[in-house]
Chain A
Amino acid sequence: MIETMLKLSLILFSITIAIAVIRIIIGPSMPDRVIGLDMIGVNLIATIAVISIILNTKAFLEAILILGILSFIGTIAFSKFIERGVIVERKHDR
């Protein structure tokens, strides 16, 4: 029972990632693409967690943490580039 549920959730996560890829390709504006990339990151984290439940191992937990960190920093960098046009500022103006 639980095996079936886990495999079904893997299939649903794959469909979600495919939909997010479609949104990144055709997305009308840049914020749509950034949100799509963040959504792919979150769904990859969930997929890795479900796979580590299925395989009954703890070896992938560092991969989950690193994906979370990189997705966070990437989303911040993209949104700052969209909003201000510069990523690392020389001197903050205030």
Chain B
Amino acid sequence: MKTNDVILRTVTKIVVFIILTFGVELFLSGHNNPGGGFIGGLVLSSAFVLLYLVFDVETVHKGIPFDFKKIAAFGVLLAVGTGVGAVIFGSSFLTQTFRELHLPVFGNTELATVVLFEAGVALTVVGVVVTIILSISEDV
């Protein structure tokens, strides 16, 4: 059956970028405001789920040639690696630190190593959620 969904496809091509931008904003505002790696990862994965809904699996895999299981594994590795790095420097596991730096454009910026941990959490959430959705939707 030939279906006509031009409006849905055209809207999705714009809305996906809005959702991805909002996910990154949630991820970056997680230090002092509502947000963080988990919620940012969930919003990013909802953008991927919208792509899988509107287009089919083969088209999306042609555009995004990543294996999402490997992304989840890399996220776990990054999150654990920040904890082990603290052990290497002589403090206890998962100790986080920060430092004030004077960057040329941004001025006085506070750089924290918890951002790396949150990036690992976000990658893990994206990989696991997209893998779950694809596994459920298979075999109909």
Assembly CA distance A91 to B19 (angstroms):
25
Which residue from B59, B134, B140 sits with its C-beta under 8 Å from A92?
A: B59
Q: B53 to A87, Cβ gap below 8 A?
A: yes
Q: B46 to A69, Cβ gap below 8 A?
A: yes
Assembly CA distance A89 to B55 (angstroms):
8
Chain A residues closer than 8 Å to B39, beta-carbon distance: 66
Instruction: Give the size of the chain B interface in residues (CB under 8 angstroms).
Output: 27
Chain B residues closer than 8 Å to A80, beta-carbon distance: 53
Interchain residue pairs A-B with the least CB separation, the first 10: A88-B137, A89-B56, A92-B56, A88-B52, A91-B58, A86-B140, A73-B50, A90-B57, A91-B56, A87-B137
Could you write out 27 A-B pairs with CB less than 8 Å apart? A62-B34, A66-B39, A66-B43, A69-B19, A69-B43, A72-B15, A73-B49, A73-B53, A76-B8, A76-B50, A76-B53, A77-B53, A80-B53, A83-B3, A85-B140, A86-B137, A86-B140, A87-B53, A87-B137, A88-B52, A88-B133, A88-B137, A89-B56, A90-B56, A90-B138, A92-B56, A92-B58
- Which residues of chain A have a CB within 8 Å of any CB of chain B? 59, 62, 65-66, 69-70, 72-73, 76-77, 80, 83-92, 94
New contact pairs (17) apart from A59-B34, A62-B26, A62-B34, CB-CB < 8 Å = A62-B35, A66-B43, A69-B43, A72-B15, A73-B46, A73-B50, A83-B3, A85-B140, A86-B140, A88-B53, A88-B56, A89-B57, A90-B56, A90-B57, A91-B56, A91-B58, A92-B59
